[in-house]
Amino acid sequence: MANGNRAAGTASNPQDKEEGRDENIFLFYPNLIGASRVVLAFGSLYYMPLHPRTCTLLYSISCLLDALDGYAARYFEQSTKFGAVLDMVTDRCTTTCLMVFLASAFPRFSIVFQALISLDLASHYMHMYATLSMGNGESHKKVDPSRNKLMYIYYSNQKVLFTLCLMNELFFIALYLLSFSSPILSPTLLKSPESPASLVTGTPATPEPSVMFASPWSAGAMEMARANKMDSGLPWVCLCVSLPFMGLKQLINVLQLVMASKWLAEGDVAERKRKGLPRKKDGKKTQ
């Protein structure tokens, strides 16, 4: 998500320089906020299998703090490369873990989530690597508008960046909540003859998981425990509202991947020319 932490470069306190003291980057305010995001993310993952409300609360706070650490980095002049990497790694890991859960909750669409995970990781890694290697170590948020206007707007406008990232996360959170609440997307694993299906919140048409499964952590038991635990109205609204933004965010990921690939290829061509490659073999064929 959006983060001013991503702007490379570390600001120093003049008084600390005069006194010859080294700054502790790990104790910078934005990096402390980043560390708290990691703690909240782990908490959300712990509650993710069976406690949707607690998980959603912790996960959402972690996402919203992503904007706060960027503001703190700019306000206190504490933008660091460590903070930029911590921010990106946290974003990628939390989103990946959520989509891994969704792949298990909706196995029919697991290949879609696997593709989205791969696209997210590949596009951000290649963009970061291309920026660091081809952009003289500049921030990956600094995009030349001549390369791609959409990418330039995405990274240069904090409101656009924050909105797209927030709505993208909202889409997957809504889908996560629907795995607990929608009989349409996540029907009960087993149906009883007397009551073929239950559409009433909190009343799944199956016995308690403990009656049917020896292990409460088995896939079947967890699927049954999740069924119809909450109302699906609000998650459906959030899903529909955030869907266009999620689609645009995935388009930007594709553009980011393509642009980074072309940039790296241009660098390879320039490097080969500098080295005089391919070398002429004086008309002799190599064996």
Instruction: Name the residues annotated as catalytic.
Output: 91
CA 102 centroid distance within chain: 14
- The Cα–Cα gap between 48 and 225 comes to 12
Residue among 143, 91, 141 at smallest CA distance from 117: 91
Structural tokens at position 129: 């690597």
**C-alpha count within 13 angstroms, C-beta hemisphere, residue 110:** 7
What are phi and psi for residue 181, nearest 5 degrees? -125, -20
Beta-carbon count within 10 A of 194 CB: 6
- The Cα–Cα gap between 221 and 184 comes to 19
Upstream peptide bond of 278 is cis (omega within 30 degrees of 0): yes
Beta-carbon count within 10 A of 67 CB: 18
Contact 23, 12 (CB under 8 A): yes
- The Cα–Cα gap between 222 and 231 comes to 18
Residue 25 contacts by C-beta under 8 Å, 6 or more apart in sequence?
10, 31, 80, 82, 83
Structural tokens at position 216: 């409460």
Structural tokens at position 15: 């008084």
